[in-house]
Each structure stands twice: as structure tokens, then as C-alpha cells.
Amino acid sequence: MVTEEQVLNAIRTVYDPEIPVNIVELGLIYGVDIVPPGDVTVRMTLTAPNCPVAESLPLQVRAVVESIPEVRSAEVEIVFDPPWDRSRMSEAAQLELGLIQF
């Protein structure tokens, strides 16, 4: 059976083309639901509603999730509530982008 960790690890291979950080660390993934025997729904957002990759990014996420052998089907839902902001980014992503310093 596929796990949430497997799904998130697959999604970590997807990057916003304008930001050199994967979309999980950017905080764009709002949730993963798995219904046995392997139907996965990913709730995600975009950095802005008019994001230039609004059509291609969800397709990339769906493709990497469907590449997991235990996944039977994958669906990606785009949500904008709550709106994305920098506070959703992981500390590692903020550090990578120079938004925080140690």
C-alpha cells in the first residue's frame, strides 16, 4: 500500500521553475489523501492564482504520483484557501532562498 511519505517524496522531485526549491518545501502541498487500494488525491496551491505554471505544475505532480508502483490513480485539486504565503515554506526552503540566516 502506498504511504503519504512515498507520495510526498515523489512530489519533492517537482520544482517551481521560478524558484529553486521543491514544491513540498515551498509549502504548496496542502494535503494528501489515500484511499486503498491506491487512489491518491493531492490538494495543492500555487504561489499566485495567475501563476504561469498553473496548468503544467499540477500535471507534473499527477505524473510523479502516478509513477509510484502502488498508485492506481492520482488526482490533483488546486485550492486557494488558505492563500499561500512565505510562512508556509519550510525552514530549509527559507534558508535556501536567503529569507532567513543562521
Domain span at 57: 4-96
Distance CA 87, CA 1 (A): 32
Tell whether 67 is covered by a domain. yes
The answer to the question of residue 83 being in a domain is yes
22 belongs to a structural domain: yes
101 belongs to a structural domain: no
In a domain, 25, yes or no: yes
pLDDT tens digits, residue range 38-56? 999 999 999 888 888 888 9
pLDDT at 102 over 70: no
49 found inside a domain: yes
Can you give the pLDDT at residue 19? 86
Contact by Cβ (8 Å): 59, 35: no
Cα gap 93→19, rounded to integer Å: 10
Residue 56 falls inside a structural domain: yes
**Band of pLDDT at residue 91, cut at 50, 70 and 90:** very high
Domain with residue 81: its CATH number is 3.30.300.130
pLDDT at 53: 84
